[in-house]
Structure 1
Amino acid sequence: MIYAFLNQKGGVGKTTLSIHTAAELSNRGRRVLLIDADPQGSSLGWSNHRETADFTVVGMAKATIHKEIESLARDYDDVVIDGPPRVTELARSIILAADIVIIPLQPSPMDVWAAAETVDLVREAQMFNPEIKCCLALNRKIANTAIGRDVREALKELDVPILKSDIGQRVAFAESAASGTTVLDQKRSKAANEIKRFVDELRRLP
């Protein structure tokens, strides 16, 4: 399966969710390739600090991913793509390469507007490949706040599935990024449980 994390807005947590999805899939015995397709190279930077190589991370910020994905994915069960911000030919190439496009967003009006633009890109690609799936994922959500509920209501207008497994605003994600680890290394943490539920839901998508 090829999972692509995309949103034309930066700072929504694409890299965090890409790394943790790859790590959780690897923990489940899957052979995983994480493609860092963001010119900023954050996933690659994280991997350079990681002591264990439980999955493969490569950099490929080129608008030819859709043409090369078959050969790239040949030796893996799953591929996770950490996409760039902004609408570019690279983003379009990533969408065409993906089985599922996950659009992370924070609970804010600006993130909803940016998500809508990314959904439009996906729909454009679906004209060439109707099999491409798309879903929205709420990230950095602050528990028990009205804005989380309000955003879900606003997102219904996009007519795209919204994952039920929200990811909370937790210091553990920032701390793990700095040390080349993941929250999954703290097996019983709330953050780890959120990631596990998130990946469970991704894998159940029809």
Structure 2
Amino acid sequence: MAGRVITIAQQKGGAGKTTLAIHLAVTWARAGKSAALVDIDPQGSLSYWYAQREATLGADATGITHLQISGWRTQREVERLAKTHDVVVIDSPPHAETDARIAVRTAALVVVPVQPSPMDLWATRPTLDLARVEKRPVMLVMNRVPARGRLLDAVAAKAAELGVPVAAESLGNRIGFAGSLMDGLTLAETDPKSKGVEELEALAAEIWTALD
């Protein structure tokens, strides 16, 4: 098995990086793929979520593999997981330090969540520069999108000018994404028929296609 490694990277805080990593991994797991989540962010938010998931569902019923790691062993451990899983999703640290570089270097695709505002778009530049240096493909994902309006279209157009692919699918500004994490779950597990789940499944499918 040669699993696909996807790194979720964004140097600006508040972009929804960890929430996106969790929801994508669980979405793929629910679709029948073996998925692993790797937390190399010193904040450890993903690992706190996973501990709550074990408490809620049981250690043997989480449906995904979790690893918290940092430092020089990161690339080796990610490559090891990729041999036994269909997809490995890395939640990277917010700064372009060694761990972030390793996470980007290891990825088949770097997914960069960005909220639809000029400030957030400008803040992606260090992440895009890092991916360019490491020669890794990138996809921007519009996250926490309000009701569609001119601002979203304008930001998407400016993002395209950066020469980076922008996902056609976006995620709405839905409280259910964050709310579901409190119990170690995801929106698909707390409100499976919601619009947000439709968006997630469509985005996950688009990202998977981009890896082919």
Paired residue for 2:200? 195
Residue among 68, 79, 92 paired with 1:70 = 79
> What is the letter of the counterpart of residue 154 of structure 2?
D
Q: CA deviation at 1:142?
A: 0.3
Contact 1:65 1:97 in 2 (8 A): no
Give how far 1:63 is off: 4.8
- Give the equivalent residue in structure 2 for 1:88: 97
**Residue of 18, 22, 29 corresponding to 2:32:** 29
TM-score by length of 1: 0.93
Cα distance, 1:63–1:108 mapped onto 2, change above 3 Å = farther
Instruction: Indicate the SS of the match to 1:11.
Output: coil
**How many residue pairs align between the two structures?**
201
Which one of the candidate residues 191, 205, 209 is aligned to 1:204?
Answer: 209
TM-score (norm 2): 0.90
Percent identical among aligned pairs is 35
Question: How many angstroms does 1:144 deviate by?
Answer: 2.2
Moved over 6 A (4+): none
1:129 counterpart residue number = none
CA distance, structure 1, for counterparts of residue 30 and residue 84 of structure 2 = 17
Deviates more, 1:191-200 or 1:50-59: 50-59
The separation in 2 between residues aligned to 1:159 and 1:197, in whole angstroms, is: 23
**Structure 1 unaligned residues grouped into runs of 5+:** 127-131
C-alpha contact 1:20 1:182 (8 A) present in aligned 2: yes
SS of residue matched to 2:134: helix
Alpha-carbon distance in structure 2 between the residues aligned to 1:179 and 1:98: 29
Q: Confirm or deny: 8 A CA contact 2:40 2:91 kept in the other structure.
A: yes
- Structure 1 residue 64, shift from structure 2 partner: 4.2
